[in-house]
Amino acid sequence: MAQNSDFCSVCNLYLCPLLVNPNNMKQKVAVVRREHFNAAHRLFRKDWSDEQNTSTFGKCSLPNFHGHNYELEAKVIGEVDAETGYVMDIKKLSDLIAEKVLEKFDHKNLNLDVEEFRTLNPTAENIAIVIYNILRPHIPEQNELYIRLFETPRNYVEYPVAPTNFVNPKS
């Protein structure tokens, strides 16, 4: 017969995973919010010739800009709070991205409308770094933040680089 002590004091479940292994409370979990924005850009360097820009950036260097459907994933990693059961309230993460990133990037011309890209080429790499730097100060210090940005369904970048995301081909 179940004793009182067999019920978890956090969630009140009989033999919950935390009760069976209290170390679970210290285990880290990743929460991910996926968002979407459309934006136009042109990849080029003012100090390069048209030929050099075209040979380096291809169609992304066409002078009249073009658009992408960007998919953004913000991953927050941290310990599960014993009281709330959350790593971070994902609604707060969603609101944060909407207010700080989507408001700034969605339906914008990145080269012309977004301060950070006045002098910075708006490649997927640089956009991911800019988004990370915008969001990082608003994420609880003890949590890790990772950005994944899809420029097309087949091309995406990640920042910062998490070594565990990579499979060693020799192993």
The residues assigned a catalytic role are 60, 107, 151
User: Shortest gap between Cβ of 110 and Zn ion (angstroms)?
Assistant: 10
CA distances from residue 5 to 2, 15, 83, 84, 153 in whole angstroms, order as listed? 8, 9, 18, 21, 50
25 touches 85 (CB < 8 A) = no
Q: Which residue is nearest to Zn ion (CB)?
A: 60
CB-wise, 7 or 57, nearer to Zn ion?
Answer: 57
Q: Residue 11 Cβ, how far from Zn ion at the closest point, in Å?
A: 47
Q: Does 60 bind Zn ion (CB under 5 A)?
A: yes
Query: Which stretch in 27-35, 60-68, 102-110, 127-135 sits in contact with Zn ion by CB under 5 A?
Result: 60-68
Q: Are strands 28-41 and 156-159 parallel, antiparallel or unpaired?
A: unpaired
The residue range among 2-10, 11-19, 52-60, 161-169 that interacts with Zn ion, by the rule CB under 5 A, is 52-60
Q: Compare residues 61 and 135 and give the one whose CB is closer to Zn ion.
A: 61
- What's the CA gap between 39 and 20, in Å, rounded? 49
Half-sphere exposure of residue 58: CA atoms within 13 angstroms, side-chain side? 2
Residue 68 CB, nearest distance to Zn ion (Å)? 5
Task: Enumerate binding residues for Zn ion (CB under 5 A).
Answer: 60
